[in-house]
Each structure stands twice: as C-alpha cells, then as structure tokens.
Amino acid sequence: MTRRSMESKAQALLETAPDAMVIVNSFGQIILINAQTEKLFGYEKNELLGQNVEILIPDRFASKHNAHRKNFFSNAKTRTMGEGQELFGKHKSGLEFPVEISLSPLETEEGVLVSAAIRDISKRKKAEEKFRNLLESAPDAIIIVNETGTIQLVNAQTEKMFGYNRTEMIGNKIELLMPGRYDSIHQAHRINYFKTPKVRQMGEGFDLLGKDKNGKEFPVEISLSPLETEDGLLVSAAIRDISEKKKLENQIREININLERKVKQRTAELETKNKELEQFAYVASHDLQEPLRTTSSFVGFLQEEYYGKLDENANSYLNYITQATERMQTLIKDLLDYSRIGRKTILQEVDCNEVLSNVMADLSSAIEATNAKISVKEPLPVVKGYATELKQLFQNLISNSIKFHKENLAPEITISSKKLPDAWEFSVHDNGIGIDKQHHERIFIIFQRLHNRMEYEGSGIGLSHCKKIVELHGGKLWVDSQPGQGSNFQFTLNKMEME
C-alpha cells in the first residue's frame, strides 16, 4: 500500500469520528485533521497542516504545553489529557472554549505520532454551572457521592454545616461526615441503595446524626436522589440540620407530658369532687325529706283537726305551709333524680322510636288535654346509650314543649334526627311561646325559672336534667328560639363504644 493511499485511508477514518481529530508528530506539527476540527476551530485545513499544535491553544498555556508534549512522547500511552484540570481550545477568532482531550499514540514508519480527540464541552460546562448555581442556592447542605462513597461535589451550606472547606471533603469518603460507630452499617446501606436507586428519605423512622469537623454530633434529615451522569450513577444527598426542630419537639413533648399529667390529676380531682357533690346532694336530699315528712304530717293533723274552726288568716297560713312543703318535696325529689343521673347505668342499644312511644304513652293525658300534635319526620335511630336517661331526656323536652304552648293554640311538636360522622343529632321543634336569646344559656342552669309558678308549674330543673344526660352521652345541648316563634331544642349523642 502506498503512503498516499494510507493517508487517504487514515483521513477517511478521521472523518467518521464525532469529535475533532488532530494528529501531531513529536515536534508538535499538525499532520492530519478532520472536518470536525475545521468546524470547531474555524480554520481551513490548509491553514492548520504543518502548523504547531499550539495554534489551537490559548497563549497562556503554550509554553507549558511544549513540556507536556515532550513528556507524553517519552512515555506514550492512551490517556485523558490534563486529567482533573480545566482545558481550553482557541478558535481562529481568538475566542476560548472548554474542551476535553483524549490522547492516543500511533506507531508509523515515520515514528510515533499522537492522535488527539478534542470535544467542545461548552454546553456541558454551562449545564454544570447552572447545576452548581442551583446547588449553591439550595437551603440545605447538598452532597453528591459516587458508588464507592467518595464525595464528588458539595455546596456552601455543606461547608457551613460541617465546618470543612470543599477541598477537605471532595475526594474523601462520605463517612467523614458521620459518627464513626455508623461506618460499617452505612457502607452496607449505600451498597443496597445503588442496587435499587430511587428518591426517598434516608433512614426513615430512625434518628440520623451528622458529625462536624470538631467531632460534634447533631441530628439531621437526609433525602436521597439518584443522578444519572456520563460518569455513571451518582447520588445526591440533601441534608438538613434539625437541631432546633428536635429541641422544639422535645419541649412540646415535655409540655404535653406535663399537660397530660395535670389533666389526669385535674380529672381525678373533678371526678372525686363530682362524686362528693353527688353523694352530698343525695344524702342532703334524703336527710331533708325526714323533717319535711314530719312537718307535712303535723300540718295535715292541724288541717284535719282545726280547719274551719280558726279564723280565715289561720286557714290561709295552713294552705301556704302545705303548698310550700309540697314544693319543697318536689325540689328534693328533683334534686335526688339529678344526683342519680349516670349512677349505676348500663350502656346498651336503645331504639329511640321505642323510647318515644313510651314517652308519648306516659304523656297521653297532657297530649289529650292540649290537643298536642307530635310528629316524627323519619324513623329515629338505634343508639348506644343509657335507656332510662334517654327516656327522661325525650320526656322532659316534649313535656316542656307541651307546657309552654301559646294560649288558644294547640302544641305542634316535630322530632327529627340526622347522622353526623361521629354522632347523631336530634331536634325537638315546637310552635310554643319561644325564649329570648339572652336566656338561651340560663335555662340549662339548675333551678332557673323564666316564669312564675302561677303561670307555669315546675321546679326549673328539667332542662338541667337534659343537659346532664346529653353530656353523659358525650354530646351537646342547645336551643334556637325567639319569643313568639317557637323553640328548637337540638342535641347530639356521640357514637359510644360498648364495653
């Protein structure tokens, strides 16, 4: 094969390369180039052949390049040029651009030549710069590590957090930034992560610790993300110092523990007080009945023996004493009933339709006397509750609606219910005399009356009973009402669990 044909074949091979290809002899003279070289550097082929290769290098590197070239020819082997350094090419216009260069020796009849594959990495450098800027603007420490655990890149937040400068971290193992006792465990975790890389939290459910240059340990949260690069798979770790968060969590935990302790203590105290009050009310009411029975008996004797034999004033006084004694007996009975609410009760399934039917039977005389009309919109639910107390609740509300009806107008009472996520809500709506807004809270206080006994009889404890019963079932009781517009008593019963 002739020398010309060999050169033609070499030229053809060079033209198939995607990179700029420059072949140089030991004197640094350009022997062959391809079209990519012309395109990359802006020269025509005849402008480069025979020229020193330094024509393609920025002037500031020319003198050093001579020495590097001589070193290469003294130990020629395939390698990357200037590994770990930034290399630049120089365009015909004088414009500089970043490049990567791979060198390969070529054995020829005329001696050893060197083939340089030159790649313009301007776009990659811009992307890397953009990536670095994003890295630097991140609020967290960002560390990029390869599969062997060697740190490739860090941002300013990493320097700030761990106290090392970049040069101290890059090229070192990631274990530098961890407590030594975790080294072997972490290496195993890293190997597993690279087997199945995906975006996730590191050590989820565990307390993770970082270690700064001074050896101080601090709590961290770490998010891992795989990065596919030309150099292979890397992992990006976003690290956040959560010392303040942990401190706050500990303070909140301590506050909650103290609060829980105080709540338990206060609840126990309230339960004791409530029991004492209930016992007091029971005992006091029970003990009060005895002297009242004695008074009532003697007044009865006086009326049987002397009624009509004394003057009119004496007869009136006896009547007043009898009425007062009866009212006192009613109050004591109601107080006893109030203290018994919730005592010795059994939680069971209660059909509210059956309860309502029994209540209407008990109130049949009052319903007939007033021509009251009671309707239920839809069947009422079956709830878990205390049967006796629920019957008393419905009875008190309905009897109130009957009692406080408008003059010359028959009571109309509508009962309904609706299901809530964790409770049942009931409504007892009437067309009665209504209640002024200023009294909406007062009516639920024990022995509070809005009307005198001449207008409406009663002790003023019925709605207090209702409130206590509803609260026993974990619910609330309230009223919507205006004078002359009727009243709508509403209450909720929580969905209670059977023991």
Instruction: Give Cα separations from 496 to 35, 412, 499 (angstroms).
Output: 86, 32, 9
Per-residue pLDDT, 493? 92
Q: Look at residue 2 and give its three-state secondary structure.
A: coil
Query: Could you tell me if 450 and 380 are in contact, meaning their C-beta atoms sit under 8 angstroms apart?
Result: no
**E strands in 34-160:** 79-80, 87-90, 96-108, 111-120, 141-145, 151-154
Question: E strand or H helix at 221, and its extent?
Answer: strand 217-229
Question: How many CB atoms within 10 Å of residue 177?
Answer: 24
Q: Look at residue 105 and give its three-state secondary structure.
A: strand
Percent share of the chain, pLDDT over 70: 87
What's at 202, amino acid-wise? Answer: M
- Domain 125-241 sits in which CATH superfamily? PAS domain (3.30.450.20)
Q: What number is the average pLDDT over the span 269-273? A: 79
Q: What number is the average pLDDT over the span 206-215? A: 90
Q: In CATH, what number does 3-120 get? A: 3.30.450.20
Q: For residue 113, what are the contacts with CB-CB under 8 A and spacing of at least 6?
A: 23, 24, 25, 26, 31, 105, 106
pLDDT of 301 > 80? The answer is no
Q: What number is the average pLDDT over the span 273-280? A: 70
Indicate the range of 296-300, 357-361, 415-419 predicted with least confidence.
296-300
Q: What number is the average pLDDT over the span 471-498? A: 87
Residue 475 CA to residue 285 CA, distance in Å, equals: 28
Domain ranges of the chain: 3-120, 125-241, 247-340, 348-494
Q: What number is the average pLDDT over the span 297-323? A: 76
Instruction: Give Cα separations from 314 to 294, 307, 308, 311, 320 (angstroms).
Output: 20, 8, 9, 6, 10
Pick from 165, 146, 147: nearest CA to 155: 165
Span 394-449, pLDDT tens digits: 988 998 898 888 888 999 999 999 999 889 999 999 998 888 888 788 777 765 55
Per-residue pLDDT, 315? 75
C-beta pairs of 177-181 under 8 Å, 24+ apart in sequence: 177/143, 177/210, 177/211, 178/209, 178/210, 178/211, 179/209, 179/211, 179/217, 180/211
Q: Does domain 247-340 have CATH number 1.10.357?
A: no
Per-residue pLDDT, 323? 73
Residue 237 CA to residue 201 CA, distance in Å, equals: 9
Residue 70 CA to residue 72 CA, distance in Å, equals: 5
Indicate the range of 40-49, 316-325, 384-393, 395-404 predicted with least confidence.
316-325
Residue with tokens 């029975």: 293
Band of pLDDT at residue 212, cut at 50, 70 and 90? very high
Per-residue pLDDT, 10? 63
Q: How far apart are the first and last CA of the chain?
A: 102
Same fold, 3-120 and 348-494: no
Per-residue pLDDT, 92? 94
Residue 172 CA to residue 300 CA, distance in Å, equals: 106
DSSP 8-state code for residue 459: -
Query: Could you tell me if 465 and 408 are in contact, meaning their C-beta atoms sit under 8 angstroms apart?
Result: no
Instruction: Give Cα separations from 23 to 19, 97, 106, 132, 189 (angstroms).
Output: 13, 20, 9, 35, 48
Nearest-5° Cα angle at 430, 424 to 435: 100
Tokens, residue 417: 């219910």
Query: Could you tell me if 420 and 490 are in contact, meaning their C-beta atoms sit under 8 angstroms apart?
Result: no
Level-2 CATH architecture, domain 348-494 = 2-Layer Sandwich (3.30)
Torsion sign across C-alpha atoms 290, 293, 294, 295: positive
Pick from 158, 189, 191, 188: nearest CA to 172: 158
What's at 340, amino acid-wise? Answer: R
Band of pLDDT at residue 322, cut at 50, 70 and 90? confident
Torsion sign across C-alpha atoms 60, 62, 67, 71: positive
Bridge partners, 475 (sequence order): none
| Global pTM exceeds 0.75 | no
Residue 419 CA to residue 399 CA, distance in Å, equals: 25
